[in-house]
């Protein structure tokens, strides 16, 4: 008989992290902010209903149970894969440098290869500034080459061979000065997080002032993206209060956090 590969059983912290990740309205940025504020996924889950209510939503968020999370991990293990969580020692370090890095990734194959230098090819039409890392030139007579040629005109690296890409990749994030601190918790990192995170600043404002801050933040936002720094500068309350309000509004489904530290009202909120 074929011997099945044995997989370690998930611990409670992993189950709670997956529950938080799969909770309605919790995106990659909100996930980081909640772990930074509450220190663990279980504490963040316990705080979710109050945060959603403060953000203006009456219905409680749909939070998967630990049995649901365990079932997902067991099914992944049955297929020969495993889950890597942001902040864990086996999570790809270059991917973790992104502000909106996935909170977890499912992996099939040899995960030990992930820390090596690698190139990701993404087919998204709405590419980020970093994603516009390179462009392959084409004939100026071919209309299909206009996009790539225009990126080169704007400063993208001209790519003719694989060596052109390799020459521009950082050899190691720490040696190249690119390492980032994870954005988790007060004091010490949760289980599985290797670096001490910066402390979360709780807002000093009273509950009444936070209500006023919510109204002011909403008034400053539009359906077009607005830089978070601009919201903080234009708001009369502390940066900690603004960030707390933005987290509440995102969890309530009233705003969307976008790459580049920008936020936007969701269309139904603006009506």
Structural domain boundaries of the chain? 12-110, 207-270
Strand partners, 84: 105
What architecture (CATH level 2) is domain 207-270?
A: Orthogonal Bundle (1.10)
CA distance 187 to 181: 13
The reported pLDDT for the residue numbered 111 is 86
Please list the pLDDT of the chain residue by residue as tens digits (271 residues): 444 555 567 789 999 999 999 998 899 989 999 998 999 999 999 999 999 999 999 888 999 999 999 999 999 999 999 999 998 888 888 788 877 889 999 999 988 888 776 666 655 455 555 556 777 788 888 888 888 888 888 888 888 888 887 777 766 554 444 444 444 433 333 433 333 344 467 888 899 999 999 999 999 999 999 999 999 999 999 999 999 999 999 999 999 988 888 999 998 754 4
The reported pLDDT for the residue numbered 196 is 35
Provide DSSP, 180-209.
------SSSPPTT--SPPPPP----S-HHH
* pTM tops 0.75: no
The reported pLDDT for the residue numbered 170 is 63
The reported pLDDT for the residue numbered 200 is 61
CB 263 within 8 A of CB 247: no
The reported pLDDT for the residue numbered 242 is 93
């Amino acid at each position: 008989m074929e011997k099945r590969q044995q997989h370690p059983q998930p611990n409670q912290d992993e189950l709670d992290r997956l529950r938080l990740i799969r909770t309605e309205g919790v995106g990659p940025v909100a996930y980081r902010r909640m772990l930074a504020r509450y220190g663990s996924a279980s504490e963040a889950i316990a705080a979710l209903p109050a945060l959603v209510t403060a953000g203006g939503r009456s219905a409680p968020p749909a939070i998967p149970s630990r049995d649901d999370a365990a079932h997902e991990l067991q099914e992944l293990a049955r297929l020969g894969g495993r889950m890597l969580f942001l902040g864990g020692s086996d999570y790809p370090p270059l991917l973790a440098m992104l502000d909106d890095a996935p909170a977890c990734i499912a992996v099939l194959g040899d995960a030990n290869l992930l820390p090596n230098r690698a190139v990701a090819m993404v087919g998204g039409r709405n590419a980020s500034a970093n994603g516009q890392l390179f462009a392959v030139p084409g004939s100026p007579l071919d209309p299909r080459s206009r996009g790539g040629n225009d990126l080169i005109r704007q400063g993208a690296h001209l790519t003719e061979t694989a060596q052109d890409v390799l020459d521009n990749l950082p050899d190691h994030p720490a040696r190249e000065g690119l390492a980032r601190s994870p954005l988790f918790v007060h004091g010490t990192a949760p289980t599985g997080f290797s670096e001490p995170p910066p402390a979360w600043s709780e807002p000093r404002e009273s509950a009444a002032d936070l209500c006023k801050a919510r109204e002011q933040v909403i008034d400053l936002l539009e359906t077009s993206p607005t830089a978070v720094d601009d919201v903080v500068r234009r708001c009369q309350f502390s940066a900690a209060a603004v960030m707390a309000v933005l987290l509440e509004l995102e969890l309530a489904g009233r705003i969307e956090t976008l790459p580049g530290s920008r936020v936007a009202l969701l269309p139904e909120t603006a009506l």
